[in-house]
Amino acid sequence: MKKWILSIIGIITLFTLRAESGYELWLRYAPITNPQLKTSYAQTINSVILPGKSPSSTIIRDELSRAMNGMLGKTPQFMNEPQNAGSLIIGTPTTSPLISTMNINTELQQAGQEGFVLISKKINGRQLTILAANHESPLLYGMFHLLRLLQTHQPITHLQIISTPRTKLRMLNHWDNMDRSVERGYAGFSIWNWHTLPGYIDQRYIDYARACASIGINGTVLNNVNANATILTKEYLIKVKALADAFRPYGIKVFLTARFSAPIEIGKLKTADPLDPQVQQWWKDKIKEVYSFIPDFGGFLIKANSEGQPGPQDYKRSHADGANMFADALAPHKGVVIWRAFVYSHENPDDRHKQAYTDFVPLDGKFRNNVLVQVKNGAIDFMPREPFHPLFGAMPKTPLMMEFQVTQEYLGQATNLAYLAPLFKEVLDGDTYYKGKGSYVSTIIDGSADQHNLTGMAGVANIGTDINWCGHNFAQANWYALGRLAWDHTLSSEQIAREWLGMTFTNDPNFLKPAQDLMMRSRDVVVQFSNPLGLHHIMGTGHHYGPAPWVSNLSRPEWNPVYYHKADSTGIGFNRTSTGSNALSQYYPGARKLWEDLNNCEEKNLLWFHHVPWNHIMKSGRTLWNELCFQYYTGAEQVKDMQKSWEQLAAFVDKERFNDVKQRLQLQYEEAIWWRNACLLYFQTFSKQPIPSSYEQPDKTLDYYKSLRFPFAPGN
Amino acid sequence: MKKWILSIIGIITLFTLRAESGYELWLRYAPITNPQLKTSYAQTINSVILPGKSPSSTIIRDELSRAMNGMLGKTPQFMNEPQNAGSLIIGTPTTSPLISTMNINTELQQAGQEGFVLISKKINGRQLTILAANHESPLLYGMFHLLRLLQTHQPITHLQIISTPRTKLRMLNHWDNMDRSVERGYAGFSIWNWHTLPGYIDQRYIDYARACASIGINGTVLNNVNANATILTKEYLIKVKALADAFRPYGIKVFLTARFSAPIEIGKLKTADPLDPQVQQWWKDKIKEVYSFIPDFGGFLIKANSEGQPGPQDYKRSHADGANMFADALAPHKGVVIWRAFVYSHENPDDRHKQAYTDFVPLDGKFRNNVLVQVKNGAIDFMPREPFHPLFGAMPKTPLMMEFQVTQEYLGQATNLAYLAPLFKEVLDGDTYYKGKGSYVSTIIDGSADQHNLTGMAGVANIGTDINWCGHNFAQANWYALGRLAWDHTLSSEQIAREWLGMTFTNDPNFLKPAQDLMMRSRDVVVQFSNPLGLHHIMGTGHHYGPAPWVSNLSRPEWNPVYYHKADSTGIGFNRTSTGSNALSQYYPGARKLWEDLNNCEEKNLLWFHHVPWNHIMKSGRTLWNELCFQYYTGAEQVKDMQKSWEQLAAFVDKERFNDVKQRLQLQYEEAIWWRNACLLYFQTFSKQPIPSSYEQPDKTLDYYKSLRFPFAPGN
C-alpha cells in the first residue's frame, strides 16, 4: 500500500506541476481536502437524477462528473430514482416527471424564462437538492451555481435560491479580425481559427463556451466592430454556423458585426443608403441567408459613422434610419440590432465628450423595438477612471445596453494587475438623477427605470490564444466579473473577487483575504500612477501603451493627448463646466453637482471637468502640482507594495502561475515608474515647479521618454 | 483507505482529462503500468549522484524528478554516494569526483566534445548506471536518452552506449516575424512575445528549450530569413539576450537572421556594399554589440539576393563577398555565418532548378572557414517529393548545411498527417556519386566526405502558439524527427516513429504497429493525391494552400504553376534532360542515370525531369493519363484508409487528441478530393481524355475550383 501512496503522491505532484497553466480558468475543480466538507458534499449529491438526452443534459452530466471527480474524487451515480442517500434532481417540469411532482410551481414562476430554482428539500427522509428551471439553458446556470458553492466551500444542505438574470443579453464583444489579429488584444491572437473552420472544432471553442455558460454569458459577437464584410459571405457564414452549433448547447447565441457598406463591397450595389429599397432588400436577403445557417442567430452589432467606419450619415440619414433598416430585416427572425453610440466627428469642433449625446438624444423614440443602443461606460473611451456616460438616463424610450471593456486597453494591457469589477460597479452605481436621487445607471441598464424588457450588458473580450486565455492570470477575473455582473449587478466586487480567487487558486483564508485586498485596490493603483485626478487619454499613440501626454501632431485634434489634459502655464485639466465646453450640462443637475464646482468637485474626477491652477489647494492641503507628484509617486510605490503582497502568497500558488504574476508585477512596477517620470517631467514644463525633493528624482530625461517607440506593440 | 483510493482515481481521471492537450509533446512521462518493468527501473535508478549546482545540473535534477515521478510515481533520491540499491551517477570528470574514478577514459575520449557515455557497471555488487560526458550540455542529451529508454520501455540494466552527434549545428530556423506572424506557420503565431520580453519569461520558452534539448537541438534562429533589421537594434538585442539566457542552460545557442541592408536601415549609412570599409566597420561594431549582450551568440543566418531580399549582388559583389564580410566580423567572437543558397532570379531565363548551382559552384573555396552554405534539400522549394539538390557534392571545399522544412508549407500545412522522416531520409540517402557510388548526401552533410568539422542540419520550424505547438498532433513527430536525424542520420524513419509514438501516445504494441504504419505511408499519400509522378509547385498562389495548377498570370514566370508542369496537348512535365533545360547536367553521371532516360526514369520523379506524352506507357501498363488518374484517385482513397486506421486506434488515445487527429484527417480527405478533382479536371483540358469511368466522377466543375479564394489563409 505504501508504494501505492507514493505513486499517488507522485501523480498529484505531477498534476500540480503540469495542470496549472491557467487554461482551466475558474473551472479547475480542485480537490476538497476538508474531510467534513467533502463528506457533506458527497452525501448531499450521492446520486443525480437527470432525465433526457438533449445536448444540454449531456453537458450537465459531463460537467458534473468532471467537477465531482475533481473535487470529491468520485463521480456521482446517475440514476432514475432518488436513493436513500442524498440526490440531486435536475430538470424542467416538461422534461422531468420528478420535478413536476416537487411542488415548486411558485418558485418556477418566480424564476421566469431565464432563471433557475436551487432548493434543498427533505422528502420521506431523503435529502434532495432540486435544480429546476422552465427551460434547459437555465439548468446549466443553476448547475454552475451549485458547483460554485462547492468550489468555494459553501454549505449546500439548506439551499433556497431563486436566481434570475438582471439583464437579458449578457455578452462578450470580440474585436477579432479575420486574419486572427485582435484589436486591443493582449493575450495573443484570435481563438477563432477561421481557416480550419467549419471542419475543425477546437477543444478551445468548447471550453470557451463552458466558461461563458458558467457565468451566465449568453451571447457572443465573434468579430471586430471595425468590421470586414467578408464575414457575411457564404463561405464564412458556414464557418460561423459551425461555431454557433458548438455554442448552442451552452445557451450561447452568436452575433456578428455588420459592415454598413457590405451591400457595396460584397453585394455589388452602388450604394448602402439605408432608405434605398435595393439596399433594404439586399440586407433582407442576406439576413435570411444568415438564418438559413443559424436559426437562432442573435443579430448584429454595428459601429457606424464612427472613427472612419461607413454609416447612414454618409447618405445624410440618421443613426435611427440605419439601425431601423437592420431591425426591420431582423425582426421576422427575432434578431436584434445593437447599435453603438460611440460616435464623434473630427468635423465637429465641439468637445468629443458631448457628441454622442448630441447625436443620439434627439433619436430617442425613433428606434424600432428590436434595437438596443450600446453605450460605453463613459463618454470618452474606457479610461482608467471615467464619469458615467451622460446618455444613461437621457434616452428613456430606448433600451441602452452597457459596453464595458474587459480587455485592458487603457489599464496596463497584459502586464498590469487591474481588477475591473470596481470600475464596472463605480459606473453601475453612478446616480444619474434621471428620476431623482437613486436613479442609478444600473436601473437604466437592467430596464427597471423604464420597464424595458430588452436589456443587456457587453464586455469587450480580453480573450486570446495565450494558454491562460487572458495573458495575465488575474485578467481572467475581469472576464469572470463581467459575466457575474451582467447576471446580477448587485453583487459586490469583493464577493466576485472572493469567488474567483477561491475557484482559481485556493479557499484558504490566509490566501483569500490578502489576495482579495490586492485585487480590490489594483485598479485604483493603475489610475494613480497613470491618470490620476481625472487625467485621461494621455497614452501612447495608436497602441495606447505607456505614457505620451506630449503628443500633439495627430491628424484629428481629439486623438491627441494634449486635447485632453490641456496643460499650460496656468494649470491643467479640461474645463467642461459652463465656462468651458459645458459637457456637464448633459448631466442631470443632481449628478452634475458632484463635479461642477471646482472647490467641491470630487478630486478623483477633478481634471476631467476643470482646468485647475497649478497652485490650487487640494483637500490634502497640497497644491495641485504637489498633489499630482504625490499621486504619481504613491501609485508607483503601491505597485511595489503589491509585489510584496504577492510574494507573501507564494506558498498558496503553484509555481507556474505564481511566477507569471510575479514577473508581470515587476513589469508593472517598471511601467509605473515610466508613467510617473514621463508624465511629471512633461507636466513640469508647464508647472515650472520642482518635483518635491523628498521623492527620488527621475533618472532619465523627458527627451528619453519621448524617444521611445514600440513599432510592434500588440493590439494596434 | 478506500476513500483515499477513490479520491486518487478521481485525480487520475481528471489528470487524463486535462493533461492531454498535446502541450507536453513527447515529454509526457506517462505512468509505467507493467509492474516488472517499473520495479526494474525503480531499482536501477533508486538514487542519483549528481554533484554541482550549475544551471545544467539543476535542470537535470528537475527533469529526472519530473520524469521519474511521472513514470514510476516516485522521485529518485539525490545523494552524495551510491547506495546498495542501483544508482545513477552523472557528471563530467571535472565536476564529479566519482565519475573520475569510473575508469571510462576511453569511452569519454570516444564521446568527444559533444557526445555522452551511458553505461551500466557493477562495482562492489552495486548496480551503477553511469552517465558521463566531457562537458555539461551532453549530459543533458544523455539524460534525455536514458529517459527515452524508460519512456519506450527498453531495458536499462546493460547499457553500453557512446553517442556522439553526427552534425555540429543542429538547428531550428524560425520564420517568425516581429509582429508575431509566422511565414509558413500553421500552428498559430510566434511563440516569441517580443513585447513582454525581456521582463517576462514565458514558461513556454523553457518548455521549448526542454523539448529541443531532449532531441539534441543546439541552435535556434529566432527570426525570419526575410529579415527585419529592427531585431538588431539595442532594444531588441536586450530581448534576444533574455531568450539566450533562458536557453543557455539547455545547451541551445541563439542565432539571428541579418538583413543585408541593415547598415542603411538602422545604421543610417548610404550603402550596404560589403566591400565598403564603413559598412564592414558598422557590422563589426554591431556584432561586437551583439556579443556584449550574448557572449555565446551563434551567428547569422542570411538570405541575400533571393526573392527580393537585399544582398551583395546589389553592389555587383558575389555571395562570397557578402558572406565573408560577416564571417570576418564574427570570427573574433567564434560566430558563424550560415549563408543560404536558395537563390533564383527573374532576370535569369534559365530553369530555376539550375540557378543556385550556377551561382554557387564557382564560389567553392572562396568562403571563409566560419561560413556554411545552407542548401535546401532540393533545387526548387521543399516540394512534397523532390530529387536531392545538385549542389550536394558539388562544393567540396565548402561545408554545406542541410535545410529541411519541418513546417508543412507544401505538404498539407496543419491539416494533413505527413510524417516527414521518410522525406528527410530519402534525401540524406540520395547517392550523389560525387566520389563514386555510395557518396550519399548524408556524407556531405556530416562532413565525412570532405573532412569538414563545421557541419549542420536545420529545419524550418513548425512551432507556434497552438497549445499543442504544431497544429496537428502528428506534426510534433516532424520536429522530433528533425532533431533525431540531425543527431544521427543513420536512424531509420521507423525507429524514430516508434520512439515518438511510444512517448507521445502509448507503447502498447497493438497501437504501435498500426500507428507506425499510418505514419510511414503518410507522406507518400500526400504526394500521391497532390503532386504525383514528379509534379511540383502547382499549389495555390502565395499561401500554397490547395491546388492551382492553372495559375499563369503572376509577375515572375517561375512563380506560376504552369512553369513547372508545362502541360500541353502533347503531354505534361518539365524537360530537364539535355533536350530541355539540361538541369540534369548538374548531377554526376551516376546520379543522373536514375532519371535521364524517359523510359528508365524512376516514375516517382518522371515529370520532374521529362515532358511525357499523354499516351506514354507506364510500368503499370497504363498510359500516362490513366496513371495520373490512378495516382490521384488512389491517393484520395488512401486518406480514407488512414481515417479507418485511426478510428481503430480510438481505445489507445485520449479523447482530445483522438478527436484532433480525427477531425484533421477528415479535412485531409476533403482536401485530397479537392486536389484530385481540380488537378484532373485541369490537366484533362490538355489530355482531352476522360477520367476512366470506373472512378467516381468529379461533382464540381473546373471553374468552381478556379473560383476558390482564401484571403485569410495562414502563413502567407
Contact flag A10-B467 (C-beta cutoff 8 Å): no
pLDDT at B201: 98
- In the three-class reduction of DSSP (H, G, I as helix; E, B as strand; rest coil), residue B170 is classed as strand
Mean pLDDT of chain B: 95
Q: Which residues contact B368 (CB under 8 A, 6 or more apart)?
A: B323, B324, B327, B328, B331, B337
Does B66 contact A17 at a Cβ distance shorter than 8 Å?
yes
Given CB atoms, is A203 within the 8 Å cutoff of chain B?
yes
pLDDT of residue B372: 98
Query: Do residues A576 and A353 lie in contact, with contact meaning Cβ atoms separated by under 8 Å?
Result: yes
| Interface check B663 vs A, CB under 8 A | yes
Q: Where are the alpha helices (DSSP H) in B331-389?
A: 352-360
User: B-chain residues within 8 Å CB-CB of A187?
Assistant: none
Q: How far is CA A463 from CA A133, A247, A638, in A?
A: 30, 16, 27
Could B29 and A14 be called an inter-chain contact, meaning their C-beta atoms sit closer than 8 Å?
yes
Sequence-ordered list of residues with C-beta below 8 angstroms from that of A451, at least 6 positions apart, any chain: none
Q: Is A238 on the interface with B (CB under 8 A)?
A: no
Q: What is the pLDDT of residue B81?
A: 85
In the predicted model, residues of chain A with pLDDT beneath 50 are 1-18
What sections of A619-654 are H helices per DSSP? 624-647
Q: How many angstroms separate the CA atoms of A365 and A350, rounded?
A: 25
| Alpha-carbon gap, residue B177 to B173, rounded angstroms | 12
B205 to chain A, any CB pair closer than 8 A? The answer is no
Pairing mode, strands A612-613 and B400-405? unpaired
Rounded distance between C-alpha atoms, residue B476 and residue B25, angstroms = 7
Separation in Å, CA of B23 to nearest CA in chain A: 10
Residue in B5, B11, B670 closest to A11 by CB: B11
Rounded Cα distance, A530 and A507, in Å: 33
d(CA A634, CA A23): 34
- Per the annotation, the verdict on A409 as an active-site residue is yes
DSSP character string of B25-92: TT---PPP--HHHHHHHHHHTSEEE-----HHHHHHHHHHHHHHHHHHSSPPEEESS--SS-EEEEE-
Any idea which residue has 524514430 for its cell? B496
The partner residues of A49 in beta bridges, in order of sequence, read A79, A89
Answer for the pair B485, B442: CB distance below 8 angstroms, yes or no: no
Say which amino acid occupies B286.
K
Specify the pLDDT at position B82.
83
**Alpha-carbon gap, residue A343 to A381, rounded angstroms:** 11
User: What pTM was computed for the model?
Assistant: 0.96
Count chain A–chain B contacts defined by CB atoms under 8 A.
148
Residues 6+ apart with CB under 8 A from A185: A175, A176, A407, A462, A464, A714, A715
Which residues have CB under 8 Å from B174's CB, separation 6+? B182, B190, B192, B220, B221, B222, B223, B224, B460, B461, B463
Closest among B275, B462, B302, B319 to B382, alpha carbons compared: B462
Q: Given an 8 Å threshold on Cβ–Cβ distance, is B19 in contact with A15?
A: yes
The ipTM of this complex is 0.95
Which residue among the candidates A307, A314, A508, A656 is catalytic per the annotation? Answer: A307
Residues 247-286 of chain B with CB under 8 A from chain A are none
Q: Are A56 and A140 in contact (CB under 8 A)?
A: yes
Among the partner-chain residues A10, A24, A656, the one whose CB lies closest to the CB of B73 is A10
E strand spans, B341-461: 371-376, 400-405, 456-460
Q: In one letter, which amino acid is B433?
A: Y
Contacts A24 to B, Cβ<8 Å: 18
Asked if pLDDT for residue B340 goes beyond 70, the answer is yes
Query: What pLDDT, on a 0 to 100 scale, did the predictor assign at position B4?
Result: 40
Angle formed at CA A561 by CA A558 and CA A562, multiple of 5 degrees: 90
Q: Which residues of chain B does A195 touch, with a Cβ-Cβ cutoff of 8 Å?
A: 710, 712-714
A 10 A CB-CB count for A286 gives: 20
Residue B46's closest CA among B99, B98, B89, B88?
B88
Distances (CA, A) of B570 to A415, B586, B612: 64, 27, 8
Task: Please give the Cα distance from A427 to B598 (Å, whole number).
Answer: 79
Q: What pLDDT score does B588 carry?
A: 98
Q: In this predicted model, what pLDDT tens digit does every residue of B599-649 receive, in sequence order?
A: 999 999 999 999 999 999 999 999 999 999 999 999 999 999 999 999 999
Interchain pair B189, A4: CB under 8 A: no
* Cα–Cα nearest to A600, from A619, A584, A622: A619
pLDDT in tens, A225-278: 999 999 999 999 999 999 999 999 999 999 999 999 999 999 999 999 999 999
Confidence of residue B384 (pLDDT cuts 50, 70, 90): very high
pLDDT at B290: 98
Q: Are strands A371-376 and A336-340 parallel, antiparallel or unpaired?
A: parallel
Distance from CA of A100 to the nearest CA of B (A): 34
Which one of B1, B5, B6, B18 makes the best mutation probe of the A interface by having the most chain A beta carbons within 10 Å? B18
Q: Which residues of B touch A179 (CB under 8 A)?
A: 712
Report the alpha-carbon angle A34-A37-A39, nearest 5.
105
Asked whether the beta carbons of residue A73 and residue B467 sit closer than 8 angstroms, the reply is no
**Separation in Å, CA B448 to CA B96, B524, B668:** 33, 30, 40
pLDDT at A663: 98
Instruction: Give the whole-angstrom CA distance, residue A186 versus residue A491.
Output: 28
Confidence (pLDDT) at B3: 42
**42-81 in chain A: CB under 8 A from chain B:** 66, 69-70, 72-75
Assess whether pLDDT exceeds 60 at residue B14. no
| Nearest CA among A282, A278, A285, A327 for reference residue A302 | A327
Q: Does residue A230 belong to the interface with chain B, where contact is any CB pair within 8 Å? A: yes
Structure confidence at residue B235 as a pLDDT band (50, 70, 90): very high
The residue of chain A with its CA nearest to that of B202 is A660
At residue A80, the pLDDT reads: 86
The three-state DSSP-derived secondary structure of A205-264 is HHHHHHHHHHCCCCEEECCCCCCCHHHHCHHHHHHHHHHHHHHHHHCCEEEEECCCCHHH
Question: Residue A347's pLDDT is what?
Answer: 82
Residues of chain A contacting residue B20, judged by C-beta atoms under 8 Å apart: none
Closest residue of A to B186, CA-based? Answer: A195
Strand pairing partners for A48?
A: A78, A88
Judged by DSSP in three states, B376 sits in: strand
Distance CA A109, CA A104 (A): 9
Grid coordinates representing B166 are: 553526427
Distance CA B650, CA B658 (A): 6
Distance CA(B182)–CA(A473), nearest Å, equals 26
Q: pLDDT tens-digit profile of B535-582? A: 999 999 999 999 999 999 998 889 999 999 999 999 999 999 999 999
Give the Å distances, CA to CA, from B138 to A263, B60, B87, B90, B678: 64, 11, 20, 11, 50
**B523: Cβ–Cβ under 8 A, 6 or more apart, which residues?**
B384, B411, B418, B419, B420, B422, B423
What letter represents residue B377's amino acid?
N
Contacts of A72 (CB under 8 A, 6+ apart): A31, A32, A38, A41, A42, B7, B10
Judge whether B31 is closer than 8 Å to chain A, CB to CB.
yes
Element (H, E) at A65: helix A55-72
Of the candidates A524, A561, A302, A275, which has an alpha carbon nearest to the alpha carbon of residue A421? Answer: A524
For residue B219, the surrounding DSSP H or E stretch is strand B219-221
B123 or B615, higher pLDDT: B615
Judge whether B171 and B220 are in contact, CB under 8 Å: yes
3-state secondary structure of A439: coil
Rounded to the nearest angstrom, the minimum Cα separation between B669 and chain A is: 11
Q: Which of residues 170-189 of B touch A (CB under 8 A)?
A: 178-180, 188-189
